[in-house]
Amino acid sequence: MGQIVRECGGMKYVRACVAAVCMFSACTASAPPAGRQVWSGQARALVTTKSGSALAWLAAAHAPNERGAPPDLLVGRLMMAETAPGAAARDLGEGVTSLEGSEAFSPDGAFVAWLAKWRFANGNGELWIASVSGGVSTKLCDAASTFVLADADVTAICDGALWRGGRGGAVFREVHRPAREFENAQDGIVARGPSGLGGKLVYVTGSDARPLAEGTGDFALSPDRATVAWTAGPQVHVLRLADNAAVAANSPRPPSRIALAPDRLAAVYLVPQEKNPTYQDLFFTGNPAPVLVGRRVGDFSFGAAGALAYLENYDAQRRVGVLTVLSGMKSHVIAKSVQDFSWSPSGHFISYLVRNAKVGFTIELWIASGEAGTPHKVDEGVWGYQLSPDERRLYYKARCGEGARSCAVLVQPIEGGATAKVAEKIAGFELSRDGRHLLLLAPHHGSQAAVDLRGVPANGGEPTPIARNAEPGARLLGDGASVAFVENDSKHAGVWIATLP
């Protein structure tokens, strides 16, 4: 202790220095995390509102005692608390699982809904809703399989039917039967019935269910939720929901996946090849004949500006393909041996990972303009990347010394400039929504599951210790100036909130 005091410059700075020393070495008495504790106890599966105004998590989580449950799944009591200082945690009920979508906040953060007493054999549970600000929880139905909580209401599949309402005292009522799946549209709901009962697709507005088609397979909505496309045997149909007649296009065989273009009344779809169905070809809806886009296509996605990127001549064993971009029905090859790609939010840039088999199977990070711009190699040995919200900087994880859990985080300006190191010995990172903060996940000594949390300004600086022995699922709150996390250490276990530098 005396040595720590001398190195820290006196007793005034002992607590901060001990926390820093414990962050990077083994201490007998662990220091508490930075920030304030919201709730004390063992917690799992942390979720937050979009604005960061409230949190929810599972308490007393354990493996479910039911045959057929996934081995890594947990079930526990759902707890919730607002993030304002002094807010008390509320117990919302038991039997909530860690399955994705088991609980959700409304986009405005005013309500929370969840599935309780989940039955794995039936694939359903009780659907409940509560106001975040307080009050009594309300059970909406006994056998819900899925739900979506919007700002206006709750939509769910309950007992094989489509139900809607339930928020702010609104009556939760059946609006269409039968229904197996649904998507919220711009002014209503598109729902599909079970295939065994005809696969009927309908558009529900108010109490009216307008039939769209029988015998449907896959369906998808456009990004603005105003257009729907669906498959029916070897045909693809596209319909603006405000119109009465759909545009139909023939397909060589029944498609397996469909997506709508963001800038036109058209869809793309994958069709299994006739001689080898494991390979799929990509088509655009034509009038009337389909337009072949690419053969043996793996992944594909539209950019916000309407360009289509896809991996052609995909090698499933090596998991690589030829990255090609289709813009204005003209295609150009970006790169070969591409393993993964993603569009920037504006659709102006496309980032991608190239598997270079000539250099010990090194993974290279590249970036290019979606409009046939010259590709630029960022770095090699890359294990992950994220573009800043203003699309001016590319952050990535590379130069790893002990596998993917001990790497450097670097940043490179998109328009050219020197690469800068932000941090080292990092397992992962997340850039805040406003692009000003970085949350760093460092390996925790003695555990492959837990991480140590640090924060650093996105423009550089010395990383600040936040927590050790934390769950990996930390959540940035709102624009990212603070972080919520679960601490595992027995002396300080619970849900915490800390400010990022």
Task: Report how many domains make up the chain.
Answer: 1
Terminal C-alpha separation, the chain:
28
**For residue 170, which of 118, 133, 206, 208 has the smallest C-alpha distance?**
206
pLDDT confidence of residue 65: 87
What CA–CA distance (Å, rounded) separates 437 from 479? 9
SS3 content of the chain, % helix, strand, coil (to 5): 5, 50, 40
Q: What is the CATH number of the domain that holds 495?
A: 2.120.10.30
Residue 5 has phi, psi (to 5 degrees) of -60, -45
What CA–CA distance (Å, rounded) separates 475 from 301? 27
Contacts of 215 by beta carbon, 8 Å cutoff, 6+ apart = 198, 199, 232, 233
pLDDT confidence of residue 416: 80
Q: Is-contact 451 443, C-beta < 8 A? A: yes
* Domain assignment present for 395: yes
Domain containing residue 412:
383-501
pLDDT confidence of residue 72: 86
Q: Is-contact 229 249, C-beta < 8 A? A: no
DSSP category for residue 168: G
Cis omega (within 30 of 0) for bond into 463: no
Contacts of 93 by beta carbon, 8 Å cutoff, 6+ apart = 77, 78, 114, 116, 128, 137
Q: Which residues, listed in sequence order, are joined to residue 397 by a DSSP beta bridge?
A: 384, 409
Please state the separation of Cα 336 from the chain's center in Å: 27
What CA–CA distance (Å, rounded) separates 411 from 460? 9
Query: How many Cβ atoms are within 10 Å of 433's Cβ, its own excluded?
Result: 16
* Domain assignment present for 392: yes
* Domain assignment present for 299: no
What CA–CA distance (Å, rounded) separates 370 from 308? 9
What CA–CA distance (Å, rounded) separates 135 from 384? 43
DSSP category for residue 33: P
**What pTM does this model have?**
0.87
What CA–CA distance (Å, rounded) separates 186 from 207? 16
Query: How many Cβ atoms are within 10 Å of 278's Cβ, its own excluded?
Result: 8
* Domain assignment present for 470: yes
Single-letter residue type at 38:
V
pLDDT confidence of residue 360: 67
Output the tens digit of pLDDT for each of the chain's 501 residues: 333 222 233 333 333 333 343 444 444 346 899 999 999 999 999 999 999 999 999 999 999 988 878 888 999 999 999 999 999 999 999 999 999 999 999 999 999 999 999 999 899 999 999 999 998 999 999 999 999 999 889 999 999 999 999 887 789 999 999 999 999 999 899 999 998 888 999 999 988 899 999 999 999 999 999 999 999 989 999 999 998 888 888 888 999 999 999 988 899 999 999 999 999 999 998 766 889 999 999 999 999 989 999 999 999 999 999 999 998 878 999 999 999 999 999 999 999 999 988 766 789 999 998 766 689 999 999 999 999 999 999 999 999 986 778 899 999 999 888 999 999 999 999 999 999 999 999 999 877 789 999 999 998 899 999 999 999 999 999 999 999 999 999 899 999 999 999
* Domain assignment present for 276: no
Alpha-carbon distance values, 302 to 260, 325, 391 (Å): 8, 9, 18
Task: Tell the burial category of 294 from Cβ atoms under 10 Å away from its Cβ (0-12, 13-18, 19+).
Answer: buried
Task: Tell the burial category of 480 from Cβ atoms under 10 Å away from its Cβ (0-12, 13-18, 19+).
Answer: buried
Q: Is-contact 113 149, C-beta < 8 A? A: yes
* Domain assignment present for 407: yes
* Domain assignment present for 185: no
**Residue in this structure with the two tokens 């809607």, named with its chain if needed:** 164
pLDDT confidence of residue 150: 92
Structure tokens at 340: 């993964």
* Domain assignment present for 494: yes
pLDDT confidence of residue 59: 97
pLDDT confidence of residue 372: 64
**Residue in this structure with the two tokens 């500006």, named with its chain if needed:** 305
What CA–CA distance (Å, rounded) separates 231 from 435? 40
